[in-house]
Amino acid sequence: MDKTLSRWSLVLGAITIPMMVWNLYNIFIFVPTEQSMGIVQRIFYFHVPSAWVAFLAYALCFVFSILYLWKRESWHDRIAYCSAEVGVLFTTVVLLTGPIWARPVWNTWWSWDPRLTTTLILWFIYVAYMMLRNYATDEQRGARFAAVFSIVGFLDVPIVYFSIRWWRTIHPKPVILGGAGSGLHPDMRYTLMFSAVTFLCLMGFLLIQRLRLEKARAELNHLKRELAY
């Protein structure tokens, strides 16, 4: 397991670094400036991919929480926990870039728009999940409770995604699969897709690093328990 994680860490690190450099070139030099919002619209290429990979991280947490409850394998719980942590990181990026983008466009840093509100709730759900997982006195019992909590909490992910379709909102309508009238300039679409792949590689790299750290922590706790006896 250690060798596999180390190998993937090197591969993803070698891929992600040049992709990030090229992604910055695409965002700040290559892609055309949006006519109505101007240069601030370039935050879009950080904001949207961060949301997509956060959803993916929470999906991993959901799947591995189910697997943990089914098979009670500790590494399933470990992957679920680390995925949630990475998801919270990218959701934080979403919640920070959103207001920066909103201020010059909406003339406000924050509004209780359905998309914004449900995203904030999602962030709180998985912060609570991590607190439950960390502060449980019985590790296995805490892992079971956290797994159930993450499965229920994942219901907010589709609510966040469909919120701009279900409710009237000042949040921009979807430009990908948004129906008639939606769409992007080809250069903007390419930049968004490239940025999404870059953020996906970054998420994979961070998840592997977090898994390696969590595995080392588990081994250290095991040694402490053996020494205590």
pLDDT of residue 184: 78
Helix, strand or coil, per DSSP, at residue 38: strand
Does pLDDT of 151 surpass 90? Answer: yes
**Helix, strand or coil for residue 139?**
helix
* Total count of domains within the chain: 1
Residue 34, SS3 per DSSP: strand
User: Partners of 34 in the beta sheet?
Assistant: 38
The mean pLDDT value for 195-222 works out to 88
Confidence of residue 183 (pLDDT cuts 50, 70, 90): low
Report the alpha-carbon distance of residue 74 to residue 88 in Å, rounded.
Answer: 21
Give phi and psi for 72, each to the nearest 5: 60, 35
Share of the chain above pLDDT 90, in %: 53
Q: Could you tell me the residue range of the domain that residue 90 belongs to?
A: 2-228
Residue pair 18/197 in contact by the 8 Å Cβ criterion: no
Task: Give the chain's radius of gyration (CA, Å).
Answer: 20
pLDDT at residue 181 tops 70 = no
Kindly tell me if the per-residue pLDDT of 173 is higher than 80: no
Banded model confidence at residue 195, pLDDT cuts 50, 70, 90: very high
The 10s digit of each residue's pLDDT in 69-123 is 998 888 899 999 999 999 999 999 999 999 898 888 778 877 888 889 999 999 9
Separation CA 172–CA 37 (nearest Å): 12
Average pLDDT over residues 196-206: 96
CB atoms within 10 A of CB 137: 6
